[in-house]
Amino acid sequence: MKYRIVADSGCDINQASGEKLDVTIVPLKIYIGDKEFIDDQSLNIQDMLRMMNKSQTAPKTSCPSPGDFLEAYEGEEESLFVVTISSGVSGTYSSASMARDMFLEKKKKFIHVFDTLSASAGQTLVSLKIHKLISEGLGELEVVKAVNKYIKEMKTLFLIDSLDNLIKAGRINKFVGKMASALNVKPIMGGQDGIIKMFEKNRGYKRAFTRLVEIIGEIGENLEEKTLGIAHCNCLKRAEEFRNEVLKKYNFKNIIIVSMNGISSVYANEGGLVIAF
């Protein structure tokens, strides 16, 4: 099958595999004050994080337009598999779907858009799953069925080190947020039906870090058959420490570590981890 994967920039696919996957990334945009950042390979994540943490206002993001996806759909491949961030947190899935319908009015091509109900490491795992299934010889509809099942069963968790962006954005009451910061509360967020919700609160990063490792065993099943994806925001050593702690307790088939792109970094903030399995 001659195919290509198209994904928005929430997909932290960098360094995810020894194989070079043919993934076309369609970038989101990030706004900090009056500064616009394009979430592509030219983005300096550390510069963006510095500006974001100095800003008094919350960063804003915008999803790609249908036109951006239309451009990405061009090419000689007969089959396109599109991997988007959860429709519960972004309009990217809607844009990708509109572009598919517009494209198919003029040209014939197999295009399927996956709402991953996840982000970051979750999108990376979905992309890798598509590649694996196709390499095993599955047809287009078989891939769609298997990947939809994979998405339904996948777990996504976020460990946030800083509450600053959530406070600035008004997602946490300012007074409550400042009190939580003063008490060193570190939230573990979880994806539920594609919406990011509070999973658990812990006092201190070390306790939250330990609980994230424990939670894998509490909610995970058949881990020996699964890949664990770990995405980090400018904290590779922390991600490696997390992998090492996981290896002491669980027998995952594979573990990958990737650095976050811009959009994932905005959600997780510096020091944040996103895991999916």
88 SS3 class: coil
Chain centroid to Cα 123, Å, comes to 5
Domain 156-276: give its CATH architecture. 2-Layer Sandwich (3.30)
Please report, for the chain, the start and end positions of each structural domain, with discontinuous segments joined by +.
Answer: 3-153, 156-276
pTM of the model: 0.92
Conformational region of residue 60, where left means phi above 0, alpha means psi within -120 to 50, and beta covers everything else? beta
Contact 90, 14 (CB under 8 A): no
Chain centroid to Cα 223, Å, comes to 20
Q: Tell me the pLDDT tens digit for each residue of 20-50.
A: 677 899 999 999 999 999 999 899 999 999 9
Contact 19, 26 (CB under 8 A): no
Dig out the tokens for 225 from the structure: 């058959």
Q: Mean of the pLDDT values across residues 106-111? A: 95
22-31, 132-141, 143-152, 171-180: lowest mean pLDDT where? 171-180
Higher pLDDT, residue 193 or 43: 43
The order of strands in the sheet holding 60-62 is: 35-38, 29-32, 60-62
The CA distances from residue 168 to 56, 162, 270, in Å, are 7, 11, 15
Above pLDDT 70, what percent of the chain?
90
Residue in the structure block whose two tokens are 């997780």: 268
Rounded-to-integer distance, Cα 23 and Cα 212, Å: 30
The fold adopted by the segment(s) 3-153 is: Rossmann fold (3.40.50)
